Amino acid sequence: MARWTQTWLSGLGAAGVSLQPEGAWRGSRLGLPEAGAGSVATFNQRLGAVLVDLVVAGLIGALVNGFVEDPGFASKQGAGVGALVLMYALLLPTGGQTFGMRVARIRVVRRAGGLLGFLPALLRGVLVALTLPALFTDRDGRGLHDKAVGSVVIRT
């Protein structure tokens, strides 16, 4: 027997309600294709990419802390978070991908086309590091961090 909370805690999808109009897909409002290269990246692709980025940033943070005599907890965490934000700020304007995005075969582009600039990429990195803005997405799969800088994550 189903729990009484099943339909409202599991979201509208569990209740059989679609957020997309009939015949629409994620990214159709943005003029993106339904599938293949250039379509909106899936949640799993984005999650996989950020997990790889977190591992890489953690390794960079550990390397940086290796030069500090006795790093405290805040220093250890700060180095990893700083490395993550810098990865976004430096790699997105130059190639549109971080290491994790390259593995997941996705990239970040401006909604109008082209790569993000340094400051939007830096802001996006800070918002990703905060985690919460990335969890709230619209029906096109864009998180609050994407909306703040006018970007969309697409498949390559």
Tell me whether residue 19 is in a domain.
Answer: no
Instruction: Specify the pLDDT at position 9.
Output: 55
Average pLDDT, the chain: 83
d(CA 70, CA 66): 9
The Cα–Cα gap between 54 and 149 comes to 21
Q: What local confidence, expressed as pLDDT, does residue 19 receive?
A: 60
Within-domain flag for 124: yes
Distance of alpha carbon 104 from alpha carbon 96, whole angstroms: 13
pTM summary value: 0.78
Q: What is the mean pLDDT of residues 46-65?
A: 91
The domain of 67 spans: 31-155
The residue among 117 and 20 whose pLDDT is bigger is 117
Q: What 3-state DSSP class applies to 78?
A: helix
pLDDT band at 103 (very low <50, low <70, confident <90, very high): very high
* DSSP state letters, 8-32: HHS-GGGGT--SSPTT--TTGGGT-
Q: Is residue 8 in some structural domain?
A: no
Residues in the chain: 156
Is the pLDDT assigned to residue 70 strictly greater than 90?
Answer: no
CA angle 68, 60, 89 (to 5 degrees): 120
| Domain assignment of residue 84, yes or no | yes
Residue 83's pLDDT band (cuts 50, 70, 90): very high
In total, how many domains does the chain have?
Answer: 1
